[in-house]
Each structure stands twice: as C-alpha cells, then as structure tokens.
Chains A and B, each alone.
Chain A
Amino acid sequence: MLAYIIRRLLGAVILLFVVSLVTFSIFFLVPRIAGASVEDMASRYVGKTADAETIRQMAEKLGFTDPLLTQYGRFVSAIFVGADYSTGPTTVHCPAPCLGYSFITQNPVWPDLVDRMGVTISLAVGAAVIWLFFGVATGVLSALRRGTVFDRAAMGVALAGVSLPIFFTGLLSLTIFSYGLGWAVPGGTYVNFAENPLAWAGALILPWVTLAFLNAAGYARLTRATMLETMNEDFIRTARAKGLNERTVVVKHGLRSVLTPILTIFGLDLGILLGGAVLTESTYSLPGLGKYAIDAIVNNDLPKVLGVTLVGATFIVIANLVVDLLYAVVDPRVKYS
C-alpha cells in the first residue's frame, strides 16, 4: 500500500509536469506556430499607439525573445526557487511557489490564487456538502418509493436541475430571492469567513444552493438508479433473510454499496470544482479561481491563465489520487500492490 501511494504520488508529479508543459506550450508555443511573431505577442501589453521599438522592448522584457525552452525553464524554476521582477522603484522577489506574475497587473500570480482559492473552496465545499446530502437522500427516498408521487416529483425536479444551466438558475434565483423577495444578498458581496462568518454564509447561500441543486439533481438520479439496482442485489435479499429490519437493510447494506461509486464521482467533481466553479462564480460574481480564470482569459493574461490551469490540474490530480486510495478503504475487493 505504501509503495502504491509513493508510486501514485510520483505519477501525479509527472502528470503535473506534463500538464505544465502542455499548458505552457498551448499559451506560448501554439500562437508562435500559428504565425504570431514575438512582437505580436508583446503588442497586447503596450499602449495602442506604441511604436515598434516599444513593442520590441516589451517583448524582451517579457522574455518572449528567448528560446521557448529557456522560457519554460524560467517558469519551472520560478515554481521551485522563486523569481525576481521589477515593480518600478524596487525589485520584488516572488517567493516559491512562484507561478510567475501577471503581465498586466504586475502582481505575482500565486498570492492571487491563494486569495481566490478561499472563495472557491468555501463555495465548492459548502455546495458539495449540501448536494451530497440532499442528492443522496432524495435518490434513496425516490428509489425506495419508486413510482410514487414523491419519486415522480423528485425526478422531474432533478431532470430540470440537470438540464438547466447554472447561469439560468443562478440569475433566476437572484431575481427571485435577492431582488424579488429580498431574502438573500445579491452577487458580488463575498466576505471572508474569518471576517464575518454570518456575512460569509449569507453571501454564499444562494450560490451554494444553486450549485448544489444542479449537482444534487445529478446525484439524486445516480443514487436512485444505483439504489434500485442495489436493492435488487442478492446480498440485500440475504440481509432481509437474516431478519434485519428494513432500515438496517437499506442503510447498512444498500446505502453502503451505493455510496462507493457516488463517493468516487463526488471526489472527482469536488476536485474539478476546486479548480474553479467558473459559471457559478461568474453568475454570482464571486471572486474565486473560476472567475479569476475567466478574467485572465479575457485579458489574455497568460501567466494567470497558466497558474489557474496548473492549480486546477493539481486539484484534479489530488482528487483522483484521494479517490483511488479511498476506494481501497471503502471496497475491500480493491487491492493495491
């Protein structure tokens, strides 16, 4: 098991290395191949009346004139040992892990990411708890009451939840609950947990619920289907044959095996979400990683995009790893050697 973990960790590191290489290539190599010159790439970082000389200087400053391998080396070395850059009057050290600094705002990317991560984690974890609970509960109840009004209603709502995009449900919920009824604060009012936990929860409640609704819908459907399947398993019949009461049968025997595939998906979903809940964050104007990524893309701010991509990939890789390891704990049939 330990050997396995070590091997997986190594694999994860290599994977991240590859991800960094690929993303780096996408942002810095591909435009060059597509025909953009060094000056073209630099030209978006200088004023619109800049002359060729200014653009050339900018290209040099941004390092676009160096060979790509050198640029990549600089990027990687910054992650491990940090880098220095000039802010004007002083030279600022960007300590490791330095994911570079924004060409446009001149801020190091990593502290920004850390700052944004808090929002995304708050959003993702809060929503995840809600959707896991309600999704699974609804799915289980639906499966146990298959064909009843409850089941039909729940699955109808769930279908809506899966099919409606978050910017629709999000804006709808804002319109109803923030502007119509005035129950919830509108978007764009995120407060740190440490600052004011109540305001924090208040700002997040709508996004939590909306994001949770979307995912809970999927989880309810999945849980229901798996539950129906599981309740027809032979081992459930065995459990009943022992004389166990129905609750024990459902919870200890049924739910236990339903939860395994759900936890797997849950881990991966959460991992992806931690890399930035792009649509939710933009709909509710939450300054999280997803919104950061969008803004970076709009501004063509490559180091930021690269940073978010790497962080997002890291979350997904870690989530994968955790899920795989958890699987061994949850399902005794899985053995790692």
Chain B
Amino acid sequence: MKHSQEDLLAGGAARPSDRPNEAFLQVRDLKVHFPTDDGIVKSVDGLTFSLQRGKTLGIVGESGSGKSVTSLSIMGLHKRGTANISGEIVLDGQNLVTATPEQVRSLRGKRMAMIFQDPLTAMHPYYTVGNQIIEAYRVHHNVSKSVARKHAVEMLDRVGIPQPDKRVDDYPHQFSGGMRQRAMIAMALSCDPELLIADEPTTALDVTVQAQILDLIVDLQKDFNSAVIIITHDLGVVAELADDIMVMYAGRSVEYGSSREIFAAPQHPYTWGLLGSMPRLDRERSERLLPIKGTPPSLINVPEGCPFNPRCAFAGLNGDLSTTERPEFREVSPGHHIACHLSGEQRQHLWTTEIKPKL
C-alpha cells in the first residue's frame, strides 16, 4: 500500500514548522489542481511550509514546479472554478482557503502583496505609474487623491526612482525595465504589507539591475519587517537573501532547510542538480554548469514512487523503491527535511565523492 504524503505528515512529528501559533504564514497540505481536457493538472500537490514575520523564504525549482501557482493561491488570485484548492493557507490566524473572496480581496494589497515576474506587462499601459500606485494605496486607505499622490511620490523615491515627483506622471512605457520593476515594488509596498511575495522579480532584467532590485527588496524588508517569499529557479539569487530555502519539484517540496544548510550540505539529488546548474562567479563557465538531465515530469501523470526517479542518477541504489514508493518527507537534521529514499550514508557518500568535487 502506498502512503500519501498527507498520511505521513499527519502522523509524523517532523514538519518544517511545527509552531503554528508563532508563524505568520502557515501553508498546510496545500493542493492546487486544475481540471483540464487532458486530465487533472496537479500543479501543487500537498505542500506544507511556514514563514515568520521578518523572515525570508526562498522557493526554488525548475520551471513548472508550481512556484507561481503556490504564490497565486496564497494571494487568492486563481480564478474561481478553474482551480480546485484544498488544504490550509493561514495568514495571521485566518484561513484564506475557506475565507470568502471578499475577505481575501480586502487582505490583498494591504496585508499581502506581490511583485510579478514580468514588469513589462504587469502594469496597465494606459494609466500613469503614479495613478496605479495611487490606486493601490487608495483601495485600502480612505485618503484624498493628493495625499495618495504624495505617498506615491514617496514610495517611488524609496525604491530609487530619480525625480519621483516628475516621473510619477509618466506612463509605464516611459520607464525602463528596471524602473518598472522598482515601480512595481513601490506599488506592492505602498500599503506596508506584512507578507510580500516576489515571484521571480528579476528574471526579465539584466544582471546588474537584478542585483539592485534584490538589494532593494532586502533593504525594504528590513525597514518594513515584512515576511518575504522570493521565488526563483536560480538558487544563486536566494543564496544571500533567504533565511530558509524550499526546493520544489513537481508540485511538492523535496528539500527544506536553512539557507546555510542547503548550500553547505544539500541532501536531495535534485538539489544537487540545481546547485550543479547554478552559475557561480568564482568558477569557469565550462565547469560549472551541470544541468539536470531529462525534463520536468508531467503534472497529470506524475511518475510512480519518487517523482524525480526518471531523472535521478541514483534511483536504482535501493532496489525498486524509488519507482514504487513515494519517499517520505522527513527531518534528516534539525530543521532540514528531505523527501528521498537514499539513506544518510548513501547521501553522505555520494555528496562527498561524486557531487561536491564537481561543483
């Protein structure tokens, strides 16, 4: 008999954060399924994590692993009827999954805000930047336009837009990509959100701008003391920013741990793969890229056993366990969880002899 992850979690003592009362955001066994003509797309299939105020969580994973779907569920931005959402998303004690759309709406923008992947398309082309920030502020604050405008100028100033009192009347197309992302951040932060989700905030930007934006997010987080989720498929991005890192594969968490642990002693072969494909500034280009072979799995027919098994170089090491039984998400060291059939020794051996030298 197969065990579902849920059973294991319900019965197990090991959870990333077992202190619900202290965590600002609690996601428990979140499932987001899309019924389509081809079958049910299990974009997120039993995800559990939590986040404290003032902390930063990095969610890492390949394209299609369910990062955006997760963040959109937190924000309540999935269209009604298209997504089947189950599990719990508890924001400061309130379960967003069971809350009415109106309740979630009132939280959006105010208590939780989001910065999107592509700043080029995320702003309305027909309204000025200022206008859009003002709008964001006034939804939740009953103030006059001029007050809101002053606030918008301030926010633009905060995110480092030069001459904010002038640029506030510009249209998005008059901004550069980086400026647009800054403006998006200004908009997201305009109501002092307690939770900020940044979904790949820098992928559309060039490298120097990326660094600036990330620095900005870190600075602002400190100022506002918000909880931040930074989503990326590039481990390097979160290396310095995140307190904790969650690695996602096929809609599930495969490894969870503090940023330090994940980089110093990663335990999951998938994480090894991610690290292998991570660009590092201190290495030669030819050596450093070790892309994970194969392609991400179908989310309609997720492989039996460990979903990563078709791509895992070590899948055969424990007989046919990897292809028949789903690995339990267990704590391997304090605060460090993985879902893998490999034993501690096996992982230790592989890491030191095969993986680490190549990185």
Residues of A within 8 A of B (CB): 233-235, 237-245, 253, 256-257, 260, 330-333
**Chain B residues closer than 8 Å to A243, beta-carbon distance:** 105-110, 136, 139-140
| Chain B, 87-123, CB within 8 A of any chain A CB | 105-110, 113-114, 116, 118, 121-123
- Known contacts A235-B124, A241-B77; is-contact A333 B171 (Cβ 8 Å): yes
**Beta-carbon nearest neighbor of A333 in chain B:** B173
Can you add 13 more A-B contacts, CB < 8 Å, to A233-B121, A243-B139, A332-B125?
A235-B121, A235-B125, A237-B77, A237-B122, A238-B116, A238-B184, A241-B114, A242-B187, A243-B110, A244-B105, A256-B126, A332-B173, A333-B171
**Beta-carbon nearest neighbor of B135 in chain A:** A242
**Chain A residues closer than 8 Å to B122, beta-carbon distance:** 234-235, 237-238
Residues of B within 8 A of A (CB): 75, 77, 105-110, 113-114, 116, 118, 121-126, 128, 132, 135-136, 139-140, 171, 173, 184, 187-188
State A99–B187 Cα separation when bound (angstroms). Answer: 60
- Known contacts A256-B126, A331-B125, A332-B173; is-contact A237 B116 (Cβ 8 Å): yes
**Chain A residues closer than 8 Å to B113, beta-carbon distance:** 241
- Contact present for B105 and A245 (CB under 8 Å): yes
**Chain A residues closer than 8 Å to B75, beta-carbon distance:** 241
Question: Chain B contact residues: over half helix, strand or loop, or mixed?
Answer: mixed
- Contact present for A257 and B139 (CB under 8 Å): no
**Chain A residues closer than 8 Å to B106, beta-carbon distance:** 243
**Chain A residues closer than 8 Å to B116, beta-carbon distance:** 234, 237-238, 241
**Chain A residues closer than 8 Å to B114, beta-carbon distance:** 241
Interface centre among A243, A253, A330 (most CB of B within 10 A): A243
**Beta-carbon nearest neighbor of B124 in chain A:** A235
State A243–B138 Cα separation when bound (angstroms). Answer: 10
**Beta-carbon nearest neighbor of A240 in chain B:** B77
Minimum Cβ distance to chain A for residue B146 (Å): 20
Minimum Cβ distance to chain A for residue B19 (Å): 29
**Beta-carbon nearest neighbor of B184 in chain A:** A238
The answer, among A240, A241, A257, for a CB contact under 8 Å with B124, is: A257
**Chain A residues closer than 8 Å to B109, beta-carbon distance:** 241-244
CB<8 Å pairs between A and B, sample of 7? A235-B124, A241-B109, A241-B188, A243-B109, A243-B110, A244-B109, A333-B125
State A243–B111 Cα separation when bound (angstroms). Answer: 10
Minimum Cβ distance to chain A for residue B44 (Å): 18
The answer, among A234, A241, A242, A330, for a CB contact under 8 Å with B126, is: A330
- Contact present for A244 and B125 (CB under 8 Å): no
Minimum Cβ distance to chain B for residue A194 (Å): 40
State A240–B104 Cα separation when bound (angstroms). Answer: 11
Minimum Cβ distance to chain A for residue B118 (Å): 6
- Contact present for A244 and B171 (CB under 8 Å): no
- Known contacts A243-B139, A244-B139, A333-B171; is-contact A238 B124 (Cβ 8 Å): yes
Minimum Cβ distance to chain B for residue A133 (Å): 21
State A234–B172 Cα separation when bound (angstroms). Answer: 13
State A256–B107 Cα separation when bound (angstroms). Answer: 25
- Contact present for B124 and A331 (CB under 8 Å): no
**Chain A residues closer than 8 Å to B135, beta-carbon distance:** 242, 244
**Chain B residues closer than 8 Å to A256, beta-carbon distance:** 124, 126
**Chain B residues closer than 8 Å to A238, beta-carbon distance:** 116, 122-124, 132, 184, 187
**Beta-carbon nearest neighbor of B120 in chain A:** A234
Minimum Cβ distance to chain B for residue A233 (Å): 7
Minimum Cβ distance to chain A for residue B320 (Å): 43
State A162–B113 Cα separation when bound (angstroms). Answer: 44
- Known contacts A240-B108, A243-B107; is-contact A235 B139 (Cβ 8 Å): no
Minimum Cβ distance to chain A for residue B236 (Å): 25
- Contact present for A242 and B108 (CB under 8 Å): yes
- Known contacts A241-B75, A330-B126; is-contact A234 B118 (Cβ 8 Å): yes
- Known contacts A332-B171, A333-B171; is-contact A242 B139 (Cβ 8 Å): yes
**Chain B residues closer than 8 Å to A244, beta-carbon distance:** 105, 109, 135, 139
State A235–B122 Cα separation when bound (angstroms). Answer: 4
State A242–B140 Cα separation when bound (angstroms). Answer: 9
State A240–B136 Cα separation when bound (angstroms). Answer: 10
State A239–B136 Cα separation when bound (angstroms). Answer: 8
**Beta-carbon nearest neighbor of B110 in chain A:** A243
**Chain B residues closer than 8 Å to A332, beta-carbon distance:** 125-126, 128, 171, 173
Interface centre among B107, B116, B124, B171 (most CB of A within 10 A): B124
**Chain A residues closer than 8 Å to B171, beta-carbon distance:** 332-333
State A99–B201 Cα separation when bound (angstroms). Answer: 64
State A233–B124 Cα separation when bound (angstroms). Answer: 9
- Contact present for A257 and B105 (CB under 8 Å): no
**Chain A residues closer than 8 Å to B110, beta-carbon distance:** 243
**Beta-carbon nearest neighbor of A232 in chain B:** B79
Minimum Cβ distance to chain B for residue A151 (Å): 13
**Beta-carbon nearest neighbor of A147 in chain B:** B81
**Chain A residues closer than 8 Å to B139, beta-carbon distance:** 242-244
Minimum Cβ distance to chain B for residue A316 (Å): 27
State A336–B77 Cα separation when bound (angstroms). Answer: 38
**Chain B residues closer than 8 Å to A239, beta-carbon distance:** 124
Nearest 10 interchain pairs by C-beta: A243-B109, A243-B108, A234-B121, A242-B109, A242-B136, A235-B124, A234-B122, A332-B171, A238-B122, A333-B173
**Chain A residues closer than 8 Å to B118, beta-carbon distance:** 234
State A167–B86 Cα separation when bound (angstroms). Answer: 56
**Beta-carbon nearest neighbor of B117 in chain A:** A234
**Beta-carbon nearest neighbor of A238 in chain B:** B122
**Chain B residues closer than 8 Å to A260, beta-carbon distance:** 126
**Chain A residues closer than 8 Å to B173, beta-carbon distance:** 332-333
**Chain A residues closer than 8 Å to B124, beta-carbon distance:** 235, 238-239, 253, 256-257
**Beta-carbon nearest neighbor of A249 in chain B:** B105
Minimum Cβ distance to chain A for residue B252 (Å): 25
